[in-house]
Amino acid sequence: MLAAARTAFAERGFDATSIRAVATAAGVDPALVHHYFGTKDKLFLAAIEAPADPEAFLPEVLAAGPEHLGENVVRMLLRVWDGPMRPAGLALVRSAVGNEWTARLLREFLVSQVLRRVLGTLDLPAAEGEARGALVASQLVGVVMTRYVLRVEPLASAPAEELVAAVGPTLQRYLTGDVALPGRRD
């Protein structure tokens, strides 16, 4: 079931993949997929071996309101990556850098499980939300690569709150501020 799910999510993306399609590809009844994984979100997280479930930390990020999203997203990222989930996260990121299939799965995780939920709290047209989400992703992936993979100082050893103070305002601007959005023709 997980192999069929990985293939479906990588080839079609999160939105276009159904539990029924995964079950058919795996040669099982959809009820069996529901029994073991519950929801499509849980199946997706298991399929990509996600180091963290966004449902565990996103409510806290979103609770403070839109004016604090930037700092809260950075704080959440650092809490996840500075915790016991780092080895699995590093394996996923390192694999994604050299493997397009894994990159697609990681992209789907970031977009469908994290960014879409954060941006969903803002009243944005779809194209604007997508552009703002891409900018946020660039910053988050940059922090992960610089701090945890490349270990560039002083970011690699900086206290989390210093990074929240340094990066949070940029994310806030990407989320709610004035910014020239990529892909906009107006």
Three-class secondary structure assignment of the chain: CHHHHHHHHHHHCCCCCCHHHHHHHHCCCHHHHHHHHCCHHHHHHHHCCCCCCHHHHHHHHHHCCHHHHHHHHHHHHHHHHCCCCHHHHHHHHHHHHHCHHHHHHHHHHHHHHHHHHHHCCCCCCHHHHHHHHHHHHHHHHHHHHHHHHCCCCCHHHCCHHHHHHHHHHHHHHHHHCCCCCCCCCC
Whether residues 61 and 39 share a domain: the answer is no
Q: What tokens appear for 105 in the block? A: 């799965």
Task: Tell whether 132 is covered by a domain.
Answer: yes
CA nearest 115: which of 160, 49, 61? Answer: 61
Task: Tell whether 111 is covered by a domain.
Answer: yes
Whether residues 87 and 161 share a domain: the answer is yes
Task: Tell whether 125 is covered by a domain.
Answer: yes
Task: Tell whether 120 is covered by a domain.
Answer: yes
Whether residues 88 and 138 share a domain: the answer is yes
Q: So what's the pLDDT on residue 185? A: 58
**CATH number assigned to the domain comprising residue 29:** 1.10.10.60
- For the segment 109-165, what is each residue's pLDDT rounded down to a tens digit? 888 888 999 999 999 999 999 999 999 999 999 999 999 999 999 999 999 999 999
* 57 burial level (CB within 10 Å; 0-12, 13-18, 19+): middle
Q: So what's the pLDDT on residue 11? A: 81
Q: Which of 12, 29, 47 is the last residue of a domain?
A: 47
Per-residue pLDDT for 186 more than 60? no
Is the whole-model pTM more than 0.85? no
Q: Is 38 helix (H, G, I), strand (E, B) or coil?
A: coil
Mean pLDDT, residues 167-177 taken together: 97
Looking at the structure of the chain, the number of domains it has is 2
**CATH number assigned to the domain comprising residue 94:** 1.10.357.10
Per-residue pLDDT for 16 more than 70? yes
Task: Tell whether 65 is covered by a domain.
Answer: yes
Task: Tell whether 184 is covered by a domain.
Answer: no
Task: Tell whether 64 is covered by a domain.
Answer: yes
Whether residues 160 and 107 share a domain: the answer is yes
Range of the domain at 11: 2-47
Whether residues 27 and 59 share a domain: the answer is no
Which of 57-66, 84-93, 146-155, 160-169 has the weakest average pLDDT?
Answer: 84-93
Whether residues 38 and 116 share a domain: the answer is no
